[in-house]
Structure 1
Amino acid sequence: MKVIQHSAETLQTALVSSRQDLVKLYSKYTKVERQLLEEGFHPGQPGSLFQPITVHSDSDWIPAHPEEPQDFESFYRDPYRKTPSASHNTIYIQTIGSFGEAGARTDQYVEWLRDYCQAFFHGLSVKLMPAVTVAETGCSFRVNSHSYNLQILTGDLLRFLGSRKPKDAFCIVGITMIDLYPKESWNFVFGQASLSMGENP
């Protein structure tokens, strides 16, 4: 087991942009807003929102799937990065399939999720769409040969969500308790996203 922890200097290099327009914008933040952001430079301190990442084994995601580091500058300039607008300012949540033993409490859990998203993505509206069954999605599915769990093909699910995306949507998020798989050679995935599927005109 090892802990991945970067120095404050490394984090500042990654998180603080050299672009003068962004530096100027940052300077307009209140003292409390800057204090919150700067907690990221000192992860692991008591009460900090940011903690070091613990890697338990070589099969953990970070060592098993090496990725190029991304600093704030490259994130900000990414042509695929979406920002809300007056005409695309709503997050839609679509529940899919059964939520198991939660039963009647499912509606309460989903409402809590909506409330959380509403608070986290301040300024955006978050709406729940009517629940759908797996059959209604028309997605391909399989029974996993190891776990014997039902699994839905993510590409089909993304296309289904894209077809239901309202015109004022910033994005649509599908929530399900059913396993997902992206292609036959994969065992499962925790989730999958598309930056372009279901684009609004």
Structure 2
Amino acid sequence: MKVIKHSEDVLKTALMSKDKKLMKHYEKFGPKEQLLLNEAFRPDSVLFRPITLHSDSDWIASHPEPTQDFEQFYHDPSRTTPTPQKSFIYIQPIGSFGDATVSTDDYMKWLKDYCEAFYYGLTVRILGPLPVSHMGCAFRVNEYTRNLQLYAGDILKYLKKKKPRDAFCIVGVTMIDLYPSESWNFVFGQASLTE
């Protein structure tokens, strides 16, 4: 196993910018926002723990990506921000969640609470559950796992059409495996940053 833990200096470089426009944002942080940002620099933080890689096939090890600091994120042309007209996160449950002891409503309540805490200031609305058969998406049975898999591209197209006008974003949530193309075994999720 390998543990990835960044030093306080590396974290400060990544999270804090010397850009004057961003520094003005930092000065406007309320006590809760300041507390959350400072939590990243505490060595005993319960929110920002080291990342443990269990094998070479873990995503971070097998799919290296360039780093991105907050300033790069802030200036990214594809980054969008909520507005008063687009301030809701819609969550669309897709298919069965398959656990008789915990209902889909319980899972959605937990997810709603988490998203509203993480995306502070945005309101989450849970849409009615959607049977897979109503989506008209392509599917397959994985040759190795024998699990049903849904084609993620069709789900994105469906959600794009269903996205309400006041939505900052719409997110489909399912316990069914996804695949992004025939050549991939599976994918954890897929997103469109521009639609």
Tell me the TM-score range normalised by the shorter chain.
over 0.9
In the other structure, the counterpart of 2:35 is: 35
In the other structure, the counterpart of 1:90 is: 88
Amino acid at match of 1:8: E
Amino acid at match of 1:100: G
Q: CA deviation at 1:122?
A: 2.4
Q: RMSD across aligned C-alpha pairs, in angstroms?
A: 1.7
Q: Structure 1 residues 113-122 or 72-81, which shifts more?
A: 113-122
Q: How does 1:14-163 map to 2 (within 5 A)?
A: 14-31=14-31, 33-42=33-42, 44-45=43-44, 47-102=45-100, 105-163=103-161
**In percent, how many aligned pairs have the same letter?**
57
Between the aligned partners of 2:94 and 2:106, the Cα distance in structure 1 is: 15
Give CA-to-partner distance per residue, 1:81-113, whole Å, 9 cap, x none: 110001111111101111113377222221232
Amino acid at match of 1:93: I
Q: CA deviation at 1:31?
A: 4.8
Q: CA deviation at 1:130?
A: 1.7
SS of structure 1 residue aligned to 2:140:
strand
In the other structure, the counterpart of 2:4 is: 4
Between the aligned partners of 2:151 and 2:94, the Cα distance in structure 1 is: 13
Q: Structure 1 residues 66-75 or 31-40, which shifts more?
A: 31-40
- Report how many aligned residue pairs link the two structures: 195
In the other structure, the counterpart of 1:185 is: 183
Gaps of 5+ in 2: none
Amino acid at match of 2:60: I
Q: CA 1:104–1:67 in structure 2 vs 1: closer, same or farther (change >3 Å)?
A: closer
Q: CA 1:112–1:2 in structure 2 vs 1: closer, same or farther (change >3 Å)?
A: closer
Q: CA deviation at 1:21?
A: 2.1
Amino acid at match of 1:37: L
Q: Structure 1 residues 185-194 or 6-15, which shifts more?
A: 6-15
Q: Structure 1 residues 177-186 or 3-12, which shifts more?
A: 3-12
TM-score for the superposition, normalised by structure 2: 0.92
Give CA-to-partner distance per residue, 1:36-91, whole Å, 9 cap, x none: 2122123x41x532111111211111111111010111000001111000111111
Q: CA deviation at 1:17?
A: 0.7
TM-score for the superposition, normalised by structure 1: 0.90
Between the aligned partners of 1:9 and 1:115, the Cα distance in structure 2 is: 32
